[in-house]
Amino acid sequence: MPTNREKTHKKHHLHRLPLLLSTASSSFAGSATWLASPATGDWNTASNWAPATVPNGSSDTATFGFSNTTGVSTAGNTEANGIVFNAGASAFTITATPTLTLTISGTGITNNSGITQNFVTAVNGAGNVGEIVFTNSATAGSLTAFTNNGSAVSGFGGGALSFNSTSTAGNGTFTNNGGVVSGAGGGTTIFFFSSTAGNGTRRSIRLPWDQCD
C-alpha cells in the first residue's frame, strides 16, 4: 500500500502535468517569417519559418518576403491573426488543402509587395474541399486573388471562401470555378452576418460541361 508521502508525491506530479503539456504545446506556435529557402512548402512545418515555429493561433502573424518556395499549403487546420507580404515579396500561392480550413481571424491580409498574392481552396477526387474563413474584422486586403476550385465529383460542392462577423473582402478578386463534371458543384464565396464585399471583384466561371449543351 502506498505511503502518505508517495500519495502526496503522485498528487503533486499530476498537478504539474497539465502545465508541462501546455508549455510544450505553446512552444510550437507563434508569429514567424517564411524562409527564403525552406525545405518544403508546408505551412505547418516549423523548420520552414524563422523563428522555427508555426504561425497557428489567434494572435499569430505569418509574414512572407522573398522565397524560392512560393507554393505554400496547409497540412492541418490553421489560424492566423494576419498574413503580411513585405515589400519585395515573391508572388505566393497559399492553398487550403482539401478537408482543412485556413482561418484569418484578426487584422487580415496586408499586401505591401506591390504584386498579386494568390489564395486557393483546393478539391480532391474524393469530393473533399479546402476552406478559407475570414472572421472578426479581418480584411482580404488589396492585390489579392482568391480561387475557389469546382468539384470533380458529381454531387459534391467545390472549395469555399466565407466572410463572417464584420470581416470584409477589401479590394480582392474572387473567382468561383464551376464543377468539372456534370452534377458537380462549383466553388463558392459567401458572406455571413455583418461582413461586406467591400470593393472586391467576383468572377464565376461556367461549368465546362454546360458549354457543350
Q: Are 48 and 25 in contact (CB under 8 A)?
A: no
Q: Using 50, 70 and 90 to split pLDDT, how confident is the model at 28?
A: low
Q: What are phi and psi of 26, to 5 degrees?
A: -70, -20
DSSP 35-69: -SS-SSSBTT-GGGEESS-B--EEEEEEEE-S-S-
Which pLDDT value is given to residue 202?
A: 59
Q: What is the pLDDT of residues 153-182, one digit of tens each?
A: 999 999 999 999 999 999 999 999 999 999
195 burial via Cβ count (<10 Å: 0-12, 13-18, 19+): buried
Q: Are 172 and 200 in contact (CB under 8 A)?
A: yes
Alpha-helical (H) ranges within 95-180 are none
**This prediction's pTM:** 0.83
Q: Is 25 helix (H, G, I), strand (E, B) or coil?
A: helix
Q: What is the pLDDT of residues 92-103, one digit of tens each?
A: 999 999 999 999
Q: Three cell numbers at 24?
A: 510544450
Which residues have CB under 8 Å from 83's CB, separation 6+? 61, 62, 63, 64, 94, 104, 108, 109, 110
75, pLDDT greater than 80: yes
User: Which stretch of DSSP H or E encloses residue 158?
Assistant: none
CA proximity to 128, closest of 162, 161, 157, 103:
157
Please tell me which residue, 211 or 64, carries the higher pLDDT value: 64
Position 84: which residue type? Answer: V
Q: Using 50, 70 and 90 to split pLDDT, how confident is the model at 203?
A: low
211, pLDDT greater than 60: no
Average confidence score pLDDT of the chain: 87
209 burial via Cβ count (<10 Å: 0-12, 13-18, 19+): middle
CA proximity to 140, closest of 195, 74, 60:
195
Q: What is the pLDDT of residues 33-64, one digit of tens each?
A: 999 999 999 999 999 999 999 999 999 999 99
Which pLDDT value is given to residue 140?
A: 98
